[in-house]
Amino acid sequence: MSNLIHPEVYSKILPAKKLVILLHGVGSNGHDVIKLVPYMKNHLPDCHFIAPHGIEPYDMASHGRQWFSLQDRTPYIMKRLLGRNVPPVNEFIKQKQIALNVTNKETIIIGFSQGAMMGIYLTLVQMEPFLCTIGFSGLLVAPSSCINTMTPICLIHGMLDTVVAVDAIEHARQYLFDHNVPCSTHKLEDLSHSIDHRGLNIAVDFIKKSGLNQ
């Protein structure tokens, strides 16, 4: 990841007090999810946004990036690949935190689709909790051990999603409940595998409330 130039948007208030990591979906790249920032930054003026490109080239097309391969979607294979690929993502986040003089407690993870899978997994294996994590249209792949139960997680999913069925949100909610992880879920009508203004409003409100609860 270190040899790529990752799109970022500086906070309106300097120096930044919080870091937002935006994780894109499979076959996409950071330029796609950084486009969400104009809809959020006025509400989150102390946040620095960065959208890293996935750690691997997309292996089912000639362009795009991925966080791990989806050629084999067997749960234990996805768990193994996520576990293998979390360390470089962690390292990227740590380097950005050092540059901004923030910690996990001031870091927000937002992921879409495969980015949500990485973001949730990454959150659950942290030694120090993030401020909060938000997953759009994602699937929870459970780690072997749920280490971090302190980060509040918000899950948002379109009810017309045909890529990742909306039932995935219930599986994730149950897992998080069983492991005492604070969680809120939102099913949005008339929305497919996408992010709309309703989801962004929910995300902004969740970030604000998480900051107040620090």
| Residues 58, 127: Cα–Cα separation, whole Å | 29
Active-site option among 46, 184, 193, 196? 193
Nearest CA among 119, 102, 123 for reference residue 111: 119
Report pLDDT digits (tens) over 18-53: 999 999 999 999 999 999 999 999 999 999 999 999
pLDDT at 115 over 70: yes
Q: Which fold has domain 8-212?
A: Rossmann fold (3.40.50)
pLDDT at 3 over 90: no
| Residues 211, 204: Cα–Cα separation, whole Å | 11
Would you state the pLDDT for residue 150?
98
Does 193 participate in catalysis according to the annotation?
yes
Q: Which H or E run includes 158? A: strand 153-158
Mean pLDDT of the chain: 96
Does 161 participate in catalysis according to the annotation?
yes
Structure confidence at residue 62 as a pLDDT band (50, 70, 90): confident
Q: Which H or E run includes 30? A: helix 30-33
Active-site option among 28, 53, 161, 210? 161
pLDDT > 70 fraction of the chain, expressed in percent and rounded: 98
Nearest CA among 93, 89, 73, 71 for reference residue 19: 93
Active-site option among 11, 28, 113, 137? 113
Does 31 participate in catalysis according to the annotation?
no
Report pLDDT digits (tens) over 151-202: 999 999 999 999 999 999 999 999 999 999 999 999 999 999 999 999 999 9
Structure confidence at residue 211 as a pLDDT band (50, 70, 90): confident
Average pLDDT over residues 91-108: 98
What's the pTM value of the predicted model, to 2 decimals? 0.96
Query: Domain locations in the chain?
Result: 8-212
